[in-house]
Amino acid sequence: MKRAPRKGQRSRREPKPSLDAGSFNLLLAASETALACTLIPEPNLIFAGKHTCEDPKTGLLAFGPYSKTDATRRTEVRIGVVGPAEAIDRALNLVERMCAAIPHSDKLDALLHPSFPGVNDCDPFQVQFITQPVWCRSMRPADVARVENHPEFPARIKLLIDAVAAEVDALSKLDVPPDVVLVVMTEKLEKQCRVGIAQHDREQREATDDEDDLEDVTEQVGGDGAEDGEEDEEEEKHARETEARSFRRGLKAACLDVLPTQLLWHRTLAGGRGIQDLATLAWNLTVALLYKARIVPWRLADVIEGACFVGISFFRPDEADAKTLQTSVAQAFTDRGEGFVLQGKTFQWDAKKQKEKAPHLKREDAQELLERVLKLYADQVHGSPRRLIIHKTSRFTEAERKGFEAALGGISEYALVTIGRRGIFSLRPGNKATLRGTAVDFGQKRGLIYTSGYVPFLRCYPGFRVPQPLEIMENWGSLPFREVAADLMRLTKLNWNTAAFNCVDPITLAFARRIGDILKMAKTDNPAMQYRYYM
């Protein structure tokens, strides 16, 4: 007896579908639907001397970081290191190698993965990474042994966080503390506290006979739970489990407003299969360290001076009755690239009663949250924004719209934008992916924007899967679709964790869930405001 193919599985006798270029063009010509499709030019970035370039690495190599010719100029970055003695030696060797030029790998595309010029007092950076023995804090062997030998995974994570955070706090109290701290791990600690997640999960599934997925939370747009639906107790338990075992987020929570940290696992320091080549690692690490040390690598060009971009998300506080509690978070970014995080009020939200998983703010809470953002903006920039854009991954209720609009005051250029993905995508004739910047206007100020795709500057599509566009599902306010889409393109180039050409998601929403998890673990009503502590 022949077995019927499973759902989604093609029968062996069923011919594999194919569509050549000629058939594709005929289908396009026969379609009665005409979409307004345009290309938004690649945003430029500003580097030293007000020079512009669309690629971060090329701009840094040619001109140097923006701060080199700005009032934010610094010539030194003080780097501290915390971890076991063996790992500290590896980290110091890496910092020393980054001070000199690192050639690109012959196995990789030289444009995507160029050589690294070295961080020193010469061009292009004119910045030195300096270390001193007093800024290197070795974990006590007894603390390392306590972590490595504890049988329970969550307890190991907590012990490691406590031990590392104590050393970071000691560095912050020096007369001249470091600007940023590298937190480094040995191979055994990584196995026990990172790779060991898989073993821990298997044990938990065997103990609870649970079939649900316990993998790490994925960093993506949609961090505030945009899809409707009910959430059962098992999902709550899994969420708590994920938070308890995350060393990185626990470390960030413990060091908020102490010193910015940069975590380097053993496999990153040791190199090898699956790890970035040394030149690319140096590029990415340098950009992150510069930003955390208040050195601006680049700024956005062609953006209205006085623009303010805000991402709104939510997280569940770690409390006994957290199942029906939500806390709002606002991430605000200026046109200069300065980033801030504000924690809003905690409020009741019962998804079952409301029949919607995505939480929403009351009118007065929405107004108060945005008023706090505008006050912070005024304190930092010494003026009011000329343009304000709010991004969410869930739709705006009427109460939220009225609350945000009440806080706007005299700001006439604004947009309240819902961004999502519904699996809609477009194809173009030929063998290349859709161009990054392709915009499809649906009318009513809504449509698609491709923040990933083929990049002419790089002569390739630097991705692995068919590029998926972001969808502007709602656009309330005075700004047309094209301007909102262009801003999204710009905001994909403000991720200071990487020197890559661009990221897929705008910085306002890219790390919403990660920041929410950090705030949840921090358990404070007044967390650090500067974004560099959360990176």
Distance CA 386, CA 479 (A): 13
pLDDT in tens, the chain (535 residues): 444 445 444 444 555 555 566 676 777 677 777 778 999 999 999 999 999 999 999 999 999 999 999 999 999 999 999 999 999 999 999 999 999 999 999 999 999 999 999 999 999 999 999 999 999 999 999 999 999 999 998 899 999 999 999 999 999 999 999 999 999 999 999 988 876 555 555 554 444 332 222 222 222 223 333 333 333 344 444 444 444 458 999 999 999 999 999 999 999 998 877 789 999 999 999 999 999 999 999 999 989 999 999 999 999 987 655 678 999 999 999 998 899 999 999 999 998 888 889 999 999 999 999 999 999 999 998 889 999 999 999 999 999 999 999 999 889 999 999 999 988 877 777 788 999 999 999 999 999 999 999 999 999 999 888 899 999 999 999 999 999 999 999 999 999 999 999 999 999 999 999 999 999 999 898 999 999 999 9
Q: What is the reported pLDDT for 401?
A: 98
Distance CA 84, CA 136 (A): 10
Distance CA 183, CA 248 (A): 10
Distance CA 56, CA 101 (A): 17
Distance CA 435, CA 456 (A): 8
**DSSP secondary structure letters along 175-188:** SS--SEEEEE--HH
Residue recorded with tokens 């519904």: 422
Distance CA 208, CA 205 (A): 5
What is the domain partition of the chain in residue ranges? 49-292
Contacts of 473 (CB under 8 A, 6+ apart): 395, 418, 419, 420, 446
Distance CA 50, CA 48 (A): 5
Residues forming beta bridges with residue 333, ordered by sequence position: 309, 339
Distance CA 513, CA 507 (A): 12
For the chain, the helix, strand and coil percentages under 3-state DSSP, each to the nearest 5? 35, 20, 45
Residue recorded with tokens 């506290």: 193
Q: Other C-beta atoms within 10 Å of 9: how many?
A: 9
Kind of pairing, strands 180-184 and 299-300? unpaired
Closest CA to 133 of 171, 189, 188, 185: 171
Hey, what are 441's tokens?
Answer: 């206007």
Q: Exposed, middle or buried, 74 (CB in 10 Å: 0-12/13-18/19+)?
A: middle
Q: What is the reported pLDDT for 16?
A: 52
Q: What is the reported pLDDT for 228?
A: 31
Q: What is the reported pLDDT for 241?
A: 43
Distance CA 390, CA 373 (A): 11
Rounded alpha-carbon distances, angstroms, from residue 384 to 56, 374, 376, 377, 411: 29, 7, 10, 7, 8
